[in-house]
A = this chain, B = another copy of it.
Amino acid sequence: MKVSVLGYGTVGVGVCEMIEKAEGLELVSVLVRPGKADKPFKVTSIDEIVNDPEVEAVVEVMGGVEPAYSFVSAALAAGKHAVTSNKALVAAKGPELQRLASEKGVAFLFSAACGGAVPFLHNLALAVESDEILSLGGILNGTTNFMLDAMQRDGMDYADALKVAQALGYAEADPTADVSGLDALRKIMLACAVAYDKLPCEGFCLEGIESVTAADVKHFQSKGLVLRLLVRGGMQDERLYAFVQPVLLSASSPEASVLKNFNMAKYRGVNSGDIVLIGQGAGRYPTASAVVRDLSDAVHGRRVMMKPSCERVEADNSVVSCRYYVRLSASLADALPFEEKELDGELCRGVTAPLAVTDMHARVKALRDKGESVFFAAMEE
Using a CB–CB cutoff of 8 Å, the interface residues on chain A facing chain B are: 14, 18-19, 21-25, 117-119, 122-123, 126-127, 129-131, 251-254, 256-259, 269-280, 283, 285-286, 288-290, 292-293, 295-297, 300-303
Whether A279 touches B276, Cβ cut-off 8 Å, given contacts A129-B24, A130-B25, A130-B293, is yes
Please give me the residue from chain B that is nearest to A128 by CB atom: B23
CA of A292 to CA of B22, assembled, Å = 28
Please give me the residue from chain B that is nearest to A295 by CB atom: B130
Main secondary structure of the interface of A (DSSP, over half): mixed
Please give me the residue from chain B that is nearest to A21 by CB atom: B130
Which 6 pairs, one residue from A and one from B, show the smallest C-beta to C-beta distance? A301-B301, A22-B130, A276-B278, A272-B289, A271-B285, A130-B292
Contact status B269-A273, CB under 8 Å = no
Contact status A272-B280, CB under 8 Å = yes
Closest-CB distance, A25 to chain B (whole angstroms): 7
Closest-CB distance, A204 to chain B (whole angstroms): 28
Please give me the residue from chain B that is nearest to A259 by CB atom: B252
Copies per complex? 2
Determine the chain B residues whose CB is within 8 A of the CB of A289 once the complex forms.
127, 130-131, 269, 271-272
Please give me the residue from chain B that is nearest to A302 by CB atom: B300
Closest-CB distance, A130 to chain B (whole angstroms): 4
Determine the chain B residues whose CB is within 8 A of the CB of A302 once the complex forms.
300-301
Contact status A14-B130, CB under 8 Å = no
Whether A286 touches B273, Cβ cut-off 8 Å, given contacts A22-B129, A23-B129, A126-B296, is yes
Determine the chain B residues whose CB is within 8 A of the CB of A293 once the complex forms.
126-127, 129-130
Q: For the A-B complex with A252-B257, A275-B279, A300-B300 known, give 7 more contacts whose Cβ atoms are closer than 8 Å.
A: A117-B275, A118-B275, A129-B296, A131-B289, A252-B259, A273-B285, A277-B277
Identify 20 residue pairs between A and B in the complex whose beta-carbon atoms are under 8 Å apart, listed by A's number.
A18-B131, A19-B130, A23-B130, A117-B269, A117-B272, A117-B275, A122-B126, A126-B297, A130-B296, A254-B278, A271-B286, A272-B279, A273-B279, A273-B280, A274-B278, A275-B278, A276-B279, A278-B278, A300-B303, A301-B301
Closest-CB distance, A38 to chain B (whole angstroms): 25
Closest-CB distance, A378 to chain B (whole angstroms): 19
Please give me the residue from chain B that is nearest to A22 by CB atom: B130
Please give me the residue from chain B that is nearest to A130 by CB atom: B22
Determine the chain B residues whose CB is within 8 A of the CB of A269 once the complex forms.
117, 289
Determine the chain B residues whose CB is within 8 A of the CB of A131 once the complex forms.
18, 289, 292
CA of A303 to CA of B117, assembled, Å = 24
Whether A117 touches B23, Cβ cut-off 8 Å, given contacts A254-B257, A300-B301, A302-B300, is no
CA of A379 to CA of B18, assembled, Å = 35
Determine the chain B residues whose CB is within 8 A of the CB of A19 once the complex forms.
130
Contact status B18-A130, CB under 8 Å = yes
Determine the chain B residues whose CB is within 8 A of the CB of A252 once the complex forms.
251, 256-257, 259
CA of A252 to CA of B254, assembled, Å = 10
CA of A371 to CA of B25, assembled, Å = 58
CA of A288 to CA of B283, assembled, Å = 35
Determine the chain B residues whose CB is within 8 A of the CB of A253 once the complex forms.
257
Contact status A14-B275, CB under 8 Å = no
Determine the chain B residues whose CB is within 8 A of the CB of A272 once the complex forms.
117, 279-280, 285-286, 289-290
Please give me the residue from chain B that is nearest to A118 by CB atom: B275
Determine the chain B residues whose CB is within 8 A of the CB of A251 once the complex forms.
252
